[in-house]
Structure 1
């Protein structure tokens, strides 16, 4: 690397050094409007144009289609995001290592959730949820394990029509 750098500088070439993809991903937060170039409310066409998603499940009968972020594939029976024909990108689900701007991620405790989101409430379905700070059109939802730690986390439009 040193020889390449010296040779490039001697030739008057400017080098742009980039952090590895994993380091770049670590600096991108989950919310308040989406993740990276994939934003809540984008149409299917717009989301596909980002070249960051891959189809996992077709939306049958007018339902939502299931997708994965290419950089963060999910397991066989799950998806990383849903795209609705009505509202576009309706919800995105978190993966290990990603955090909200408030520092919440998989493994965070219920106490950390309450501290980060003082207006945290329990949905009718029993899971904790909160309006996304900085995005009045979206909410975070959390599923906790038996030890009270976040095991699943999502970012969704208030108007999403893909899941309960």
Structure 2
């Protein structure tokens, strides 16, 4: 099946549309696709986009995978807090923030996209999420400064430290 890409110039603006497969869902500002920060486990499960991977223990969070992006044996794609709902979502490979940051981006690119990125002493670099004052992006660079992991999380999340 061929994919159709249509470009139309109207009023000086270029509009591009294509098949839904061409549209890529961004990480943020409120979540990833149909999975929204703050939604309950029941609401997240009802989307059909997540699968339970690690049941919550007493007072903790449950670990889930995005159905379309399963993770390895010792990891999860998101955490859902009993108190806060969807609390942390990790970016699957190929998924980027609206500013174009994703796994493989450099910290130099992160700082250009998010000039107010901060790194607490012995901490993880993070930046506020434009358009959502209740969330932050967390950037996990390797020794060479390239992101190995990226997440969006509620500021009030209680799943990871």
What are the ranges of 5 or more consecutive residues in structure 1 without an aligned counterpart?
A: 2-17
Q: Which of residues 99, 117, 121 is equivalent to 1:120?
A: 117
Secondary structure at 1:62 match in 2? coil
**Selected match of 2:128 from 114, 127, 131:** 131
Q: Which of 1 and 2 has greater Rg? A: 1
Q: TM-score, normalised by structure 2?
A: 0.86
Task: Give the match for residue 5 of structure 2.
Answer: none
Q: Which runs of 5+ in 2 are unaligned?
A: 2-17
- The more displaced of 55-64 and 117-126 is 117-126
Structure 2 counterparts to residues 1-164 of structure 1, below 5 A? 19=19, 23-24=21-22, 27-164=24-161
Q: How many residues align?
A: 145
How far does the alpha carbon of each residue in 1:44-101 deviate from its partner, in whole angstroms, 9 at most, with x for none? 1111110110000001112100000000000000000000000000000012100000
Give the SS at the match of 2:151: strand
- State the Cα distance separating 1:124 from its structure 2 match: 4.3
Whichever structure has more strand as a proportion of its residues is 2
- Give the TM-score, by structure 1 length: 0.84
1:68–1:125 distance in 2 versus 1, CA, 3 Å: farther
- Tell me by how many angstroms 1:27 deviates: 1.6
